Amino acid sequence: MPIRLLPDNLVNQIAAGEVVERPASVVKELVENALDAGATRVAVEIERGGAALIRVRDDGTGMPAEELSLALERHATSKIATLDDLAAVQSLGFRGEALPSIASVSRFRLVSAPSGGEAAEIEVADGRRAAPRPAAHPRGTTVEVRDLFYSVPARRKFLRSESTEYQHIQRTLTRLALSRFDAGFTLTHNRREVFSLPAAADRAAREERVARLLGPEFMRHAVHLEHESGGLRLSGWLGLPTYARAQPDQQYLFVNRRMVRDRLLGNAVRLGYQDVLYGGRHAAYVLYIELDPASVDVNAHPQKLELRFRDGRHLHDFVFRSVERALAATRPDPLRSGSTDLSRLLGADAGRAGPGLPLGQPPAVAGGGDWTVLARVAGAVADDAGRDDGGAAPPLGYALAQIHGIFILAQTGDGIVLVDMHAAHERVLYERLKTALESGAGERQALLVPAVVEVSEEEAGVAEHHADELAAAGLVVDRLGPGRLAIREVPAALATDDVGGLLREALSDLAEHGASHRIVERQNELLASLACRAAVRAHRSMTLPEMNALLREMERTDRSDQCNHGRPTWTRVSLDELDRLFLRGR
Ligand SMILES: Nc1ncnc2c1ncn2[C@@H]1O[C@H](COP(=O)(O)OP(=O)(O)OP(=O)(O)O)[C@@H](O)[C@H]1O
Ligand SMILES: [Mg+2]
């Protein structure tokens, strides 16, 4: 076949292959256009999962009649004019591809009215564009997409069931609605209104929207976070570890108000949770990152879902540390109902962490620890506070008894508290061990015989390049040849571990993210298992002063709301709840 130029309509249909994966992608493009046009209200109507109709209506700036045809031309955009504009682009769109692509694979209608101008409409079907004609429409724009992929049977075949496609649309609109609190959103499916969200001006209204979209339970078990440093800003809500889920289905990340699916950032958040999450569970979060638009390349993915960062490593660390710090602050708080909550135990949704999880195996160490000794080893000051020290009762109150050898029952200012003593003690010890390790940071141990590790040339290069950092984390490594490394010193706490494996993992982290948390992670795993072994075990009887010492330690300890496996460590029942339980005062 000789070389030829493809006809325009075919070019658009090919472009649609990348931009329009399924009905939800059409919704994304159209709603993004509405937001770029400054809409304060966006209404999305769907029929039959989007296969029959997708209609998006906005009250944005609209377009004059003479621009309607241009909007349907490939590479026609009002959003950028030069390469410099692209480099600092703030609008969601910039390629001028969405409308022509969508119009080439559907029966398409665009109606628009600019402020103070006449409304006009234009239709496209079977690759033919009709001339614009006058229409009736208030200021703003409506785009109708009917019979998506009708002209491309091969694509139509790939559409899933109505309910699956509809779910994708709902998920997409949820993301868009989380990305822009300044606009109101409505969604209608088969003429039934699914949600109608007013614009949310303040934090309370935003939290209401988040609760509406993710469920009220998320908001009830979330901490708000806001952190800014060196031109980077992270804000949003972190689901508490005890609200972790079996699926990663509530992880929302936005960069400069753009919804993204970014591995680097997702990994940074995951690391921030690693110390408090039960294995295999997924955190829930809604997080917003803002940074200089010039330091992000948004033109890196056909649906703009992935980004490239100029300083990805710095950003990764910023996100990781901010999340970690926000979660570390989850210690017993007199205002919350505990790290787990009784109402959830009774009617709880089985998809989340809770007491239904298998308990960790009791550590198989003979002899059993002595709590008093352990408390001293761990540096605890058993400030054996009595009730008569004048001050208000501390958040976890004072111990009354040990129950079934497992729980501590304590009385607080306005109710009772139950503590899982092993889980709580384990966390207290773990945090102490980590602090001790950090303060003696960089403590290394020389290997009598250096461990030689075979790696790829690329990995060896990475090791050489990051030698200082590895050394700071405790790994002293030399390059022996193109693909051979010698490990001379290792972190003291890991002296007997599989150092070759650790080095390989650290190198692959370094190669991928430019930073490795693997060493710290491994060290933490080791400390966690030490803590678990050392923690006071079930059925060892404790005296009241010992129990009180543990309660005071918990109040001082970071992350003491969860044990090292992410299980909750305590719960509270207030006097009010006790009264209700016994129908008192009715
Ligand atoms: N809802 C709308 N309100 C006002 N103008 C719109 C609307 N939708 C599209 N336009 C105009 O039509 C142009 C083309 O839209 P289109 O979505 O095809 O491209 P884009 O948004 O510029 O870039 P991208 O392909 O990255 O989305 C836009 O640049 C904008 O000027
Ligand atoms: Mg667009």
Residue 58 Cβ inside 6 Å of ligand 1? The answer reads: yes
Residue 272 Cβ inside 6 Å of ligand 1? The answer reads: no
pLDDT tier at 335, thresholds 50, 70, 90: low
Report which protein residue has its CA nearest ligand 1's atom 8.
33
**Considering only 54-63, 105-114, 453-462, which range has the smallest mean pLDDT?**
453-462
Residue 337: the pLDDT is: 55
Is residue 566, in this structure, part of any structural domain at all?
yes
Residue 578: the pLDDT is: 86
Is residue 263, in this structure, part of any structural domain at all?
yes
pLDDT tier at 257, thresholds 50, 70, 90: very high
Short-list 388, 387, 435, 321, CA closest to 551: 387
Radius of gyration of the chain (CA): 29
Whole-number Å distance, alpha carbon 77 to ligand 1 midpoint, is 6
Residue 78 Cβ inside 6 Å of ligand 1? The answer reads: yes
Q: Give 195-223 pLDDT, tens digit per residue.
A: 999 999 999 999 999 999 998 889 988 99
Residue 375: the pLDDT is: 34
Q: Which atom number of ligand 1 is nearest to the Cα of residue 60?
A: 3
The strand pairing partners of 320, in sequence order, are none
**296 & 222 share domain:** yes
**Spatial separation of the C-alpha atoms in residues 459 and 483, rounded to whole Å:** 8
Residue 60 Cβ inside 6 Å of ligand 1? The answer reads: yes
Supply the CATH number for residue 524's domain.
3.30.1370.100
**426 & 546 share domain:** yes
Is residue 289, in this structure, part of any structural domain at all?
yes
Whole-number Å distance, alpha carbon 349 to ligand 2 midpoint, is 39
Residue 114 Cβ inside 6 Å of ligand 1? The answer reads: no
Q: Which atom number of ligand 1 is nearest to the Cα of residue 143?
A: 1
Ligand nearest to the CA of 80: 1
Ligand nearest to the CA of 94: 1
Residue 59 Cβ inside 6 Å of ligand 1? The answer reads: no
Residue 93: the pLDDT is: 95
Is residue 205, in this structure, part of any structural domain at all?
no
- CA 532 vs. chain centroid, Å, equals 28
Q: Which 8-state DSSP code applies to residue 568?
A: B
Supply the CATH number for residue 419's domain.
3.30.1540.20
Q: Are 293 and 309 in contact (CB under 8 A)?
A: no
Supply the CATH number for residue 287's domain.
3.30.230.10
Is residue 232, in this structure, part of any structural domain at all?
yes
pTM (predicted TM-score): 0.73
Q: Which 8-state DSSP code applies to residue 267?
A: H
Q: Residues with Cβ < 8 Å from 137, sequence gap 6 or more?
A: 62, 111, 112, 113, 119, 121
Residue 356: the pLDDT is: 27
Residue 37 Cβ inside 6 Å of ligand 1? The answer reads: yes
Is residue 1, in this structure, part of any structural domain at all?
no
Whole-number Å distance, alpha carbon 35 to ligand 2 midpoint, is 10
**133 & 271 share domain:** no
Residue 357: the pLDDT is: 26
Is residue 333, in this structure, part of any structural domain at all?
no
Q: Which atom number of ligand 1 is nearest to the Cα of residue 100?
A: 18
H/E element holding 401? strand 398-403
Short-list 190, 245, 193, 189, CA closest to 215: 245
**230 & 370 share domain:** no
Whole-number Å distance, alpha carbon 153 to ligand 1 midpoint, is 27
Is residue 412, in this structure, part of any structural domain at all?
yes
Short-list 298, 295, 317, CA closest to 306: 298
Report which protein residue has its CA nearest ligand 1's atom 28.
77
Residue 378: the pLDDT is: 31
Residue 242 Cβ inside 6 Å of ligand 1? The answer reads: no
**430 & 453 share domain:** no
Ligand nearest to the CA of 15: 1
Whole-number Å distance, alpha carbon 32 to ligand 1 midpoint, is 8
**56 & 141 share domain:** yes
Of 11, 68, 77, 91, the one to substitute when testing ligand 1's pocket (max ligand atoms within 8 A of C-beta) is 77
What is the sign, positive or negative, of the torsion defined by CA atoms of 493, 497, 503, 509? negative
Domain of residue 490, residue span: 442-531
Q: Which atom number of ligand 1 is nearest to the Cα of residue 80?
A: 22
Q: Give 350-396 pLDDT, tens digit per residue.
A: 333 333 222 222 222 222 233 333 333 233 333 333 344 445 778 89
Q: How many structural domains are present in the chain?
A: 4
Ligand nearest to the CA of 114: 1
**Spatial separation of the C-alpha atoms in residues 54 and 347, rounded to whole Å:** 38
Whole-number Å distance, alpha carbon 180 to ligand 1 midpoint, is 18
**385 & 465 share domain:** no
Q: Which atom number of ligand 1 is nearest to the Cα of residue 61?
A: 4
| Average pLDDT, integer, range 167-180 | 96
Q: Are 447 and 489 in contact (CB under 8 A)?
A: yes
Of 25, 30, 36, the one to substitute when testing ligand 1's pocket (max ligand atoms within 8 A of C-beta) is 36
Q: Which atom number of ligand 1 is nearest to the Cα of residue 19?
A: 25
Residue 392: the pLDDT is: 72
3-class DSSP assignment, residue 192: strand
Report which protein residue has its CA nearest ligand 1's atom 9.
33
Residue 372: the pLDDT is: 32
**Spatial separation of the C-alpha atoms in residues 36 and 54, rounded to whole Å:** 19
**Cα distances (Å, whole numbers) of residue 586 to 393, 414, 416, 534, 573:** 28, 19, 22, 48, 19
Residue 168 Cβ inside 6 Å of ligand 1? The answer reads: no
Q: Residues with Cβ < 8 Å from 519, sequence gap 6 or more?
A: 470, 473, 474, 475, 491, 494, 502, 506
**Spatial separation of the C-alpha atoms in residues 369 and 373, rounded to whole Å:** 8
Residue 150 Cβ inside 6 Å of ligand 1? The answer reads: no
Residue 79 Cβ inside 6 Å of ligand 1? The answer reads: yes
**510 & 548 share domain:** no
Of 69, 99, 102, the one to substitute when testing ligand 1's pocket (max ligand atoms within 8 A of C-beta) is 99
**192 & 220 share domain:** no
**70 & 182 share domain:** yes
Whole-number Å distance, alpha carbon 362 to ligand 1 midpoint, is 61
Report which protein residue has its CA nearest ligand 1's atom 31.
78
Query: Among the three residues 264, 298, 328, which one is the final residue of a domain in this structure?
Result: 328
Q: Give 396-441 pLDDT, tens digit per residue.
A: 999 999 998 889 999 988 889 999 988 888 888 888 777 777 766 5
Ligand nearest to the CA of 89: 1
Is the confidence at residue 511, as pLDDT, over 80? no
Residue 299 Cβ inside 6 Å of ligand 1? The answer reads: no
**Considering only 12-16, 19-23, 71-75, 331-335, which range has the smallest mean pLDDT?**
331-335
**543 & 527 share domain:** no
Residue 341: the pLDDT is: 53
**68 & 181 share domain:** yes
Residue 502 Cβ inside 6 Å of ligand 1? The answer reads: no
